[in-house]
Amino acid sequence: MGVYEIGLLVVGIALLGTAILPRLLEHRPLSFPIVYMTTGFLLFAFLPGTPTLEPVENAHLTERLTELVVIISLMGAGLKLDRPFSLRSWSSTWRLLVVALPLTAALVAVLAWGVLGLLPATAILLGAVVSPTDPVLASGIEAGAPLTEIEEEQDPSHRWGSVRFALTSEAGLNDGLAFPLTNLAIAVAGASLLAPEEWLADWLLVDVGYKIVVGTLIGYAIGHLMARLLFRIPATKSVAELMGRGEEVMAGVEALATTLIAYGVTEQLHGYGFIAVFVAALALRHAEWEHDYYVELHDFAVLAERLLMATVLVLFGGAIAGGLLAPLTVGGALVGLALLLVIRPVVGILSLVGTSASWPERIVVGAFGIRGIGSFYYLSHALAESSFQEIELVVAANQLWAIVGFVVLSSIVVHGISSSAVMDALDRWKEQGGGTPTDADAETS
């Protein structure tokens, strides 16, 4: 079987799964990613003629494919959020970004350096790529479609908010904020002949300052522009009529357009496109607030995301069948498990200390920091950007892919099996009065 035929088979599996899996897996201890990954493994392990998938040798292709999945997922995540943006109401998000993200990256880097013996830049890179919560694989714990939680979010008794909001907003923003950490690893690897002050200032001013600001401003501007086009001009109807088809055919396509425009413009200006896409989604979402068309935008983004996600996960399963995890050592596996079972849960819980979140809510937020396709993107991006000057990263590429692949595989299995049952149990507990904020809690929030 040729590569072309295998490609058609992968796309066909993705389409079929998108159509039937939502009905089959709802409220069951199984998830889309587990099914797709297992299918890919079986397909590439037992079907004659399937090629060996090598993400190390195809870093640029891996980078572009995972990049597309992540940016579309970020649009869908931003459109889900029914809470108005403010520093106070988004306090759980800021805590997870300011405390959990850098602490996770730092602790993993220390373990990678101390336990695995990785060089400093390589250890920093490993910490950076596994630190963000993934927006792609978190569908089982994310907020619902637009308008489904708007009454809850407007209820003043919900001072802290929901677990789903915290994880969705965290996943939306930290996939952009992990970029400075990834770029730090590249800078450290290439700075062997430079004094620290020569590259550190550039990293702080450009990678931390300029790129974040540009991503935020461009995303905000494009989100507002698209909102004006959508809600002040009958754009959807006009496009549908020009196509000579019913209006429903093109409904929601503006979500994909906004994603690509925000990302493309921001990257051309050397800003962080991930941040731009999520901010654009928030700006678009907040324009008319209770307009029904947000559901169409969200559904279109989710459909595109699921198709691409399925493709990537089938290929991930194929890469595992081809030996992706072969360089994994016992130490690498222990570092990966420490991240998922100890580091992320602990720093996630610590991030929410002092809020009115109940302890069960804090535990769930900490435990469900899912790792996924975003980690694949960051690793492939760093390796694709590395040259002879950053040779230490390239030398460790197979080891890094094995550890990151193991982390994502473990997260898919552990979180995929448990997320539905845990979230259902948490919802029942809250319906029975658990977690209702007290006056004392409100004072600490």
Those residues with Cβ within 8 angstroms of residue 369's Cβ, 6 or more apart along the chain or in another chain: 100, 104, 133, 167, 344, 345, 348
CA distance 51 to 58: 13
109 membership: H or E segment, kind and range: helix 101-114
Q: pLDDT tens for residues 288-329?
A: 777 777 888 888 888 888 888 988 999 999 999 999 999 999
Torsional class of 119: left (φ above 0), alpha (ψ -120 to 50), beta (otherwise): beta
Where does the pLDDT of residue 146 fall: very low under 50, low under 70, confident under 90, or very high at 90 and above? low
In which band, very low, low, confident or very high, does the pLDDT at 354 lie, cut at 50, 70 and 90?
A: confident
Domains defined along the chain, listed by start: 55-310+342-409 (1.20.1530)
Q: Read off the tokens for 367.
A: 């435990």
Tokens standing for residue 333: 């596996």
Q: Which residue has the higher pLDDT, 444 or 146?
A: 146
240 pLDDT band, cuts 50/70/90, is very low
Out of 205-209, 412-416, 428-432, which region has the weakest mean confidence (pLDDT)? 428-432
The pLDDT assigned to 205 comes to: 93
- pTM of structure: 0.88
List, for residues 400-417, the tens digit of each pLDDT value.
999 999 999 999 999 888
